[in-house]
Amino acid sequence: MTGIRFGEIDSRAIHLCIDMQRIFLESGPWFCSEGLRILDPIKRIIQQFPKNSWFSRFMTPKNPEEFSNSWRRYYEHWEVVTQERIEPAVMDIHPTILKESIQPKVFEKYTYDTFKNPDLDNALKKNSVSTLILTGVETDVCVLTTALSGVDLGYRVIMASDAMTSSDIKTHEFVIESLTKRFDQQIEVASTNSILKNWK
């Protein structure tokens, strides 16, 4: 079942836009062409709630040797995107949406889960936030891991179905379908229109 099912969205809710960075939205090794399609719905949310929109940035290490085990293997494979090899500016949030936010908070992370940066949970608690609205890329990686951590920490988690995507659309669709079945009491999956209609 999809839609906003557990009442109005609290005015203190935070929209967390995940990893909408140039490295994923411009031509290159990590280009997610579908990400360009969700810029408009994300912008709509930010424009309506510019003070309640925060961002995460997926950061890469200087080189593979900075990490160990599976992450080192990962960046040995993707060495082309390490800090020694890329232009730093490609890690920036896409300017089209960043400029819409008022005093945006940006949380950097070196793994998929935004909550691995403890500043996120601390900031949410400091602002008495209990509801988290998620958008961004990729549904089946960073968005999903952040959503599940949000559930574990007791937040109301709402995922904007038309404002998140993946470079693998079949996996994106599978995750959306699975979440509505397996986490129906803890994760709401709703359209941008439904979120904006219910966010007072």
Give tens-digit pLDDT for 107-146.
999 999 999 999 999 999 999 999 999 999 999 999 999 9
* Helix or strand run (H / E) with residue 195: helix 192-198
The three-state secondary structure class of 3 is coil
CA distances from 175 to 76, 93, 160, 171 (A): 28, 25, 13, 6
- How does the average pLDDT of the chain come out, rounded? 97
Confidence of residue 89 (pLDDT cuts 50, 70, 90): very high
- Give me the residues paired with residue 158 across strands: 133, 188
The domain 14-60+89-198 having CATH identifier 3.40.50.850: the answer here is yes
Does the pLDDT value for residue 1 go beyond 80? no
CA 85 to chain centre: 25
- Give me the residues paired with residue 26 across strands: none
In terms of pTM, does the model score above 0.85?
yes
